[in-house]
Structure 1
C-alpha cells in the first residue's frame, strides 16, 4: 500500500458537495449562486474539506433543476456568469480547495440546439445524436422501457413520426453515445472546463450512457410489488450497465489523464459486485465509482459490517474505496437514522478506508424539511405523488445564522427553511465543541493528522448486536474505531489491553484510558489509540 505522501490528492481528500441553489444567495432572489459560494469558501476551508463538488450550474430551463442543459459551456444567469465561475475557481485554489464540476453527459434539455436540430427532420445531421425509433405497428412505443420519473421512456414526436428515448423527463432526451460525434462533442465539453482549470468531474448517471443496440424489452422484476417506485416494475437490463459503457469511460479517462492529476467520480447505483467493474483495468476506469451503500442499507451493525467487508474484498488492486452518507437525491442521514445516530454515522464515514463525500448541511445535522404541496418543486414528486420519492426535502437552504432568511438569503428562499433553521445553524454551532459541526471538524482534522485514517489498512475487529469495530493501521500506528449503533450502553470485548480515547462522539472522553473491554455509551462512537498490542 502506498504511503500517505505518495497518494493522489483525491485519495487523501474529503469531498464536500455544494448544491448551488441552496448554499448561499448573494443577490436576494432566494436562489443560491456562485458569488454566494465564494462568500462561504472561508467556512469550507475552516471545516477542513479538500475539494468541492458543485452540482450543475449550466444554462437550463430548470425542468430538473440544472440536469436539463441547453449549453454545456456556460453558466446559467441564475447562478452568475463565466467570470463568476472563474473567480470561484481562483478563490478556491487560493485556499487550497479543489473544484469538481457535475458533468451531465447522458441527456440534454429538449431546448438544447443539438436536439432542436435533431427533431427538425429525420434527415437532420444531428438526428442520430439522439435515440429515435419507429412506433410498433399499433403506434405504441418501440420498447417497454420506463422512465425513472414515471411512465414510458419514449416520447412521440408528431412532426417526424418517431419516438425519442428519455431515461428521465421527456424534456431530457438521451444522447446516443454509440455515435462518435456525440462522444467527440462531450470530450470537447470536458476540455473546455479542464482548460479553465477544474480539478475533475462527477459524472451523472454514468451507468446509463449506453443502451442496448438491439432495443430488446426489459424483463419484468420478480421482486416488484404495488406501491413501489414504478420504474422498479422492470429490470433495466437493456437500458443501463451495458458492457460498451466501459469503452466510453476509458476514452474520458484518457482525456482526464492528459491533464495531469484530475479526478473522475461516477454516479452509479449498482450492487457492489457490478459497481467495482467501473474501476476498469488500471488507468481505464472511473477513479471513484460512488459507493452509496451507507445511504441504502439498513442501519444495523451486522449488515454494515458485512457490507464493508464485501466491498473491501471486491475492490481491484488498483481500486481506491469511497463512501457517501448523503446527496441531493436521497433523504438526509439525520432523518434516516435520527440525530443521535447521525453523529455515529459521521464517525463511520470519516474513519473508514477511502475517500469520504459530505453533503452540505449534514455537518450541522440538517434533517429533511416537509414541503407543503404548493411549494413542491421536484418533477419526480410531481410525476409520482404519494410514493415519497420527492427530493425537495433534502435540498432546502443551508442555515447560516438566526436571521429571518437564516443568513442564506435576504429574499424568499426557493424552498422552505427548516423550522429549526434559526436554532440549528452554523453560527450557533461553530464555537460549540459539542455540536455536530464541532464533531465533523474534529473528525476531519483527525483524519488529516493520522496517516492510519487517511491511508492505513482496514481490518474488522468484530461486530455484534448493535456494535461494530475495526482497526486502521499505518507504520505501526494502530487506531481502533468502535461504534454503538443503538441507544443502550454497551461493553464491547475487542481485546484492548491498553489504549486511550482520541475522539468520542460524546464530549468529555478525550484522553481517557481504556483497558480490556470498551465501554460505549448509547449512540456513541470512539476512536482509540492502541498503546500495546494484545
Structure 2
C-alpha cells in the first residue's frame, strides 16, 4: 500500500512577501522577514509555506512578471536569503512551495528582449508572434485580462506578440520544446536548492489553439476575453512536466485553473493521469458575481450560500477517489472573507471562524492566506489608494470607456472584491505601521490595524488565531478529516452550511449558520447536549437555535 503524500495531511500557509514583514525599513516585506516569523508560523501549526513570486521583476503585476527565474529580486533579499529561508523552514519541519509563472514572463526578460529583435534568432519563437491583418490591425479579437487587446505590435519584427495579461507579460510559446525544457530546468534548479513543490500560476493557459480564431462576439465589443484555458495540448504538456520533473523529484504541484469545474477537474488531478496533485478552482469564488454581467468581477450580487454549498459539495463528491481538493476562501487575488461574505463589524470573529470551520472540515488540503488567521478585513479605500493593475485597467475599461458601471458602483464593488483587499500589509501589532515596517509602507495599511493585529488577537478571549490553530490540530490528529466520506445535508437551506464526515464507525457533523440572523436550529435531531462538541465558536451554545455565524463540529458516533 502506497504511503499517503505529505500534502494530503498538510495545511499550507500562503505568504505575499511584499506585504508580510519588512526587516530593512524600505517599506517592502522581505525574505528575512519571513525567517523572523518562523516561530509564529510554527505556533500556528502549518506544514508548508507557499511563497508568492520573489524572482527578479519590474513589478508590473506585483512579481507575476518575471525577468529571471533563478534570481531573487533585490526588494526581497538575494538567493542566499532564500536558501537560508528554505533551510530554516526545514529545521522547523515546514516545507517551501514556490510560485511558478510559466505561462508568461516579463517583457524585460532576456528571452523576450532577444525574441523581439528579429524573426530568425535563437529566441525568435520562444513567444507567440503573429502577422498583422492586411489593414495592420491585431491578428484576432482576443482580449487581455487587464484591458484592451491581447496583442501588442513590435516594429522591429513587424509582428504582434500575445499577452493574456499586461503588455509587459508576453506569453511563452509552449509549442517550442526549448521553452518547455527551460522551464523544467528552472524547476530542477530550485529543487536542488531545497524547494518542495510548486503553485503554478494560470497553468491551464499554457496551451493555445494554434488556429487563433476570433472569439465569438455577440455584443460587438472591440476585444473579447475568452477561451484562454484548457488548450488542445494542455494535458500533454502537464504529463511531460510530471515525467520530467514532478515525479522524479517528488515535487508537490497545485495549479491555478480558472475554468475548471467539478466535472472536468479529474482530468488534471487524477493520479492515474500523472499531471497535477491539486488545482485551485475559481468556481466557488463567483457565487457573489452576476452571471453574464457586462462588467465581469465588478458585477457584484448578494452572496449565494446555496450555490456555494452545491459547488463545494460537487467538488467533494466528483473528485472522490480520483483526485484531491485544494481548499481556500482567501488568497492574494481574493478579498477578505469576513468583509466579502460575512459581517466584519459586529461579527468579525464569528464570521471568520464560521467560514474557517466549514472549509477546514472538508476533504482536501486547506490553504490559509496571511492575515486570514487573525480575521483581517477589507480596508474600504478610495479609488486613488488602490495599486492593482487589474482594478485600474478595469476602471478605465468599464467606467471611462464602456460606461457600463458608475464610479460609485465600481468603488462599492472594489470594497467587496478587489484583489488589493488582500494585499495590505500584515497587521502584527498596534505600533506605527502595525509592526510591518519602520519605513514608509509600499501600500497603505488597513486603518483598523490598531485593533485587529496579531498581538491583540493572541491575547483575546475571541482569538481567531487560536481557533485556526485548533482546526489545524484537528486535521493532524483525526484521519476522518483526510480520509472520511462527505455527505452534504440541508442542501437548500438558505442560511446553514452542514455536512457529515464519516470514517468507519466514527461520524462528525460540521455546520455553520452563515448569516447574521438568529434562526431555529434545523439540526436539533443531531445537536443534542449529550453529544460531544469537538469545537465551537460560541461558548455554551443553545442548540435549540443558531445565533449569527455560529459554527461547530460535533461527534455523533
Structure 1 position 243, deviation (Å): 2.6
Whole-angstrom distance in 2 between the partners of 1:289 and 1:398: 26
Q: CA offset at residue 156 of structure 1?
A: 0.5
Secondary structure at 2:56 match in 1: coil
- Counterpart for residue 520 of structure 2: 490
Q: Which residue of 2 aligns with 1:59?
A: 56
Mapped to 2, the partners of 1:430 and 1:277 lie a distance apart of 42
Residue in structure 2 matched with residue 227 of structure 1 by the alignment: none
Alignment partner of 1:29 is 2:55: no
Note the 1:281-430 alignment, pairs <5 A: 282-298=272-288, 299-315=303-319, 317-337=321-341, 338-339=343-344, 340=347, 341-385=351-395, 386=407, 387=410, 388=414, 390-430=418-458
Q: Does 1:88 align with 2:85?
A: yes
Shift of 1:271: 4.2
Moved more, 18-27 or 353-362: 353-362
Conserved 8 A contact 2:488-2:500:
yes
Determine if the alignment matches structure 1 residue 440 to structure 2 residue 468: yes
TM-score (norm 1): 0.91
Alpha-carbon deviation of 1:70?
0.7
Cα deviation, residue 433, structure 1: 4.2
Q: Displacement of 1:443 after TM fit?
A: 1.5
Which residue is 2:401 aligned to?
A: none
Shift of residue 521, structure 1, vs aligned partner = 2.1
In structure 1, C-alpha distance between the alignment counterparts of 2:305 and 2:218, rounded to whole Å:
29
Are residues 24 and 50 of structure 1, via their aligned partners in 2, closer, same or farther at CA, if it must alter by over 3 Å?
same
Aligned to 1:501: 533
Asked whether the 8 Å contact 2:9–2:475 carries over to 1, the reply is no
Instruction: Assess if the C-alpha contact under 8 Å between 1:266 and 1:286 holds in 2.
Output: yes
Q: Is the 8 A contact 1:458 1:471 kept in 2?
A: yes
Tell me if structure 2 keeps the 8 A contact 1:343–1:505.
yes
Aligned to 1:274: 264
Is residue 267–residue 273 contact of structure 2 (8 Å, CA) maintained in 1? no
Equivalence map 1:251-270=2 (5 Å): 251-270=240-259
SS in structure 2 at match of 1:420:
helix
Q: With structure 2 as the length reference, what TM-score do the two structures score?
A: 0.88
Q: Could you tell me how far 1:316 is from its partner in structure 2?
A: 6.1
- Most deviating of 109-118 and 239-248: 239-248
By how many angstroms is 1:494 displaced? 6.0
Distance between the aligned counterparts of 1:382 and 1:166, measured in 2?
Answer: 18
Distance 1:93 1:366 in 2: 28
- What residue is the counterpart of 1:190 in the other structure? 187
Tell me the equivalent position of 1:466.
495
Flag the 1:221–1:282 CA change in 2: closer, same or farther, 3 A. Answer: farther
Other structure's SS at 2:531 match: strand
SS in 1 for 2:180: helix
Q: CA RMSD in A?
A: 2.2
Cα displacement (A) at 1:200: 0.5
> Could you say if the C-alpha distance between residues 126 and 310 of structure 1 is closer, same or farther in structure 2, counting changes exceeding 3 Å?
same
Conservation of the 8 A alpha-carbon contact between 2:284 and 2:312: no
Match of 2:300 in 1: none
Partner of 2:299: none
Offset at 1:259? 4.0
Structure 2, gaps ≥5 residues long:
289-302, 396-406
Whole-angstrom distance in 1 between the partners of 2:426 and 2:188: 32
